[in-house]
Structure 1
Amino acid sequence: MVLKLYAVSDGPPSLSVRQALAALDIPFELKDTNFGAGEHMAEEYAKMNPQKEIPVLDDDGFYLSESNAILQYLCDKYQPQSELYPKDPKARAIVNHRLCFNLSTYYANISAYTMAPIFFDYQRTDLGLKKVHIALDVFETYLQRLGTKYAAANQLTIADFQLINSTMTLEAIDFDFSKYQKKYRRNCSINLHSWYITW
């Protein structure tokens, strides 16, 4: 049975899973979920994901939500030797850390400032902008200390899918990245371009 992915076309977590599926060359059926119409709030959707969040993976009746968990599962089940999710404990720990950092801090702070005002009755504030800069400053520190080309290694990992999609939401509001020296956004945008243009 072909995997099914319930996703939204431009949601960063959904994009990350779609990029991983493409990178791992895993066939899947995209089930576009209309966030604006509230399709994710329906009773049938809640049977797959009681959190009523997007995306959800359906692997022959095995339903998995949380994009980090989906990314890890796809690598472990379908491409266990892939460098996208390295087996070495320390290398994997760094990838896992970056995934957790994105979920708890990076995407949380950025999306509250960039996306929440688009979809909800939410105002951008100076405090919100300060939190964005805190997230970017911490990420810049991680990049400098590790000294690798990408967020967790010298090659692309599943952490990059999450982090670059979070970062790119700032482009929607013409955010000024000039103070950030590592230029992560530019490097990853080039390397992820082939996955974007296929959609």
Structure 2
Amino acid sequence: MATGRLVEVYLDLLSQPCRAVHILLTCTKIPHRVRTMALRKGEHRTLDFTKLNPMQKVPVMVDDGFVLTESDAILKYLATKYDVPEHWYPRQPERRARVDEYTAWHHTNTRPHAAKVFILEVLLPAQSGSLVDEARLNRALSDLDDTLDKLESMFLRRQPFLCGDDITVADLLAACELTQPLGGGRDVLKERPQLQRWRSRVQSAVGEAFDKAHGVLYALRDRRRARL
């Protein structure tokens, strides 16, 4: 384990990428300190945080003065710098390339399509007080279905995890995204047994770190259920 100050991470656990970073830090026991950010309160727009990250987004990592602002880069940096099990981000070139292949694809497929379902079903109605736009939601669900098809046929195929026989940072990013619609009470993997088994393997691999990171999202789901 590299020595030095605690790694500081600025996180809002309602954010999918923030949860992925949180899970990795918890599972690997990298010494760290969480600086909790509430995006809904505009804490990412303060002057101090804007100096740290002019893009005003989380997660942000500060490691002994080194600032990093993108979840994919943060996960790979942590897995590379610190003495964590190699499976998280393999050193062998072909295996590492498989992780990079998924994470490159993730940001224009799994992430936007799963997030859009949550935005249309939860965030926009909460912010505007309007009803869910069912037509837009159905289109978003259709786009997400296409992504789920590819996850099954291209990435999982006959292997237990997205990039091979063991869990990697790619699985964390994907699992956190695909759990996000649960905040609105929607399990997008309900009719997908292959992906359900994959999600169960991810949860088993990281243990209580998964539910700990998702506690805020589960609470949101439960509050919505109580109002129905």
The answer, yes or no, to whether TM exceeds 0.5 is yes
Answer yes or no: is 1:193 the counterpart of 2:193: no
Q: Which stretch shows the higher mean deviation, 70-79 or 176-185?
A: 176-185
Q: Which of 100, 107, 120 lines up with 2:104 in the alignment?
A: 100
Work out whether residues 89 and 99 of structure 2, in 8 Å CA contact, stay in contact via their aligned partners in 1.
yes
Give 1:117 deviation, angstroms.
4.3
- Residue 171 of structure 2 corresponds to which residue in structure 1? 160
Work out whether residues 56 and 63 of structure 1, in 8 Å CA contact, stay in contact via their aligned partners in 2.
yes
**2: CA distance, partners of 1:110 / 1:198:** 21
Residue ranges of structure 1 left out of the alignment (5+ in a row) = none
- Residue 224 of structure 2 corresponds to which residue in structure 1? none
Work out whether residues 68 and 99 of structure 1, in 8 Å CA contact, stay in contact via their aligned partners in 2.
yes
Larger radius of gyration: 2
The one-letter amino acid of 2:44's match is H
Q: Which of 127, 131, 145 lines up with 2:139 in the alignment?
A: 127
- Residue 149 of structure 2 corresponds to which residue in structure 1? 137
Work out whether residues 60 and 67 of structure 2, in 8 Å CA contact, stay in contact via their aligned partners in 1.
yes
Q: Which of 171, 191, 194 lines up with 2:182 in the alignment?
A: 171
Work out whether residues 110 and 166 of structure 1, in 8 Å CA contact, stay in contact via their aligned partners in 2.
yes
- Residue 56 of structure 1 corresponds to which residue in structure 2? 60
Work out whether residues 168 and 185 of structure 1, in 8 Å CA contact, stay in contact via their aligned partners in 2.
no
Work out whether residues 115 and 169 of structure 1, in 8 Å CA contact, stay in contact via their aligned partners in 2.
no
User: What's the C-alpha RMSD, in Å, of the aligned pairs?
Assistant: 2.0
- Structure whose residues are more often helix by fraction: 2
Q: Report the count of equivalent residues.
A: 198
The one-letter amino acid of 2:11's match is A
**2: CA distance, partners of 1:129 / 1:23:** 32
Distance 1:64 1:131, change over 3 A: same
CA deviations over 1:81-110 (Å, ceiling 9, x no partner): 622110111100111111122222101111
Work out whether residues 156 and 163 of structure 2, in 8 Å CA contact, stay in contact via their aligned partners in 1.
no
Give 1:191 deviation, angstroms.
2.5
Give 1:80 deviation, angstroms.
6.9
CA deviations over 1:112-162 (Å, ceiling 9, x no partner): 1113543345845221111111111111112343x2111111111111111
The one-letter amino acid of 1:129's match is L
Work out whether residues 27 and 206 of structure 2, in 8 Å CA contact, stay in contact via their aligned partners in 1.
no
Work out whether residues 121 and 137 of structure 2, in 8 Å CA contact, stay in contact via their aligned partners in 1.
no
**2: CA distance, partners of 1:93 / 1:165:** 21
| TM-score, with length taken from structure 1 | 0.90
- Residue 149 of structure 1 corresponds to which residue in structure 2? 160
